[in-house]
Amino acid sequence: MFVFVVAELGKESNVIKKIEAKKLGPITAVDSNEIVVKIDNPPKSKAKKNELEKGFETIRGVLRVNLVPSYLNVADVSLQEALRTNRCGFFFDIDSTLTQGGPAGTIHHKIETIFNKMVDKGIRIFLQLDVLCLTCLI
């Protein structure tokens, strides 16, 4: 099981320190203000899950907490959070429109600059690498 924590912007490092101090679990990913914590021995009962969730919610600077099954990866959780909170996201497939040298090429530096400006404004970028895989770029 994973715990997906959204922290207030600018308070991420304090939230990370509190998670580590409370020994709630190892942090497996940090992306901007989103923190993913792995729970090795997840609670079975609903009451224990609520207790775990409350442990994270009591940390100053935490905006939202979601318990996530281990079969979802970080990109899935990030996408789920973006859709749940009505945050803006753009989806692109990889083809020669975005890349130099065809579908297997590198993303053109002008596209990368545009993507970085979008991310700075809080817009999530998702790239579809193949029919079955949706991966979060940023």
pLDDT band at 25 (very low <50, low <70, confident <90, very high): confident
Give, in order, the Cα–Cα distances in Å from 79 to each of 23, 41, 44, 68, 72.
27, 25, 26, 12, 11
Give CA angle at 55 (53, 61), nearest 5°.
95
Q: Is 104 helix (H, G, I), strand (E, B) or coil?
A: coil
The pLDDT confidence band at residue 138, using thresholds 50, 70 and 90, is: very low
The pLDDT value given to residue 59: 93
Instruction: Tell whether the model's pLDDT for residue 76 goes beyond 90.
Output: no
What's the pLDDT at 135? Answer: 45
Domains within the chain, CATH numbers bracketed:
2-71 (3.30.70), 88-136 (no CATH)
pLDDT greater at residue 53 or residue 134? 53
Which residue in this structure is represented by tokens 């090429």?
A: 105
pLDDT at 67 over 80: yes
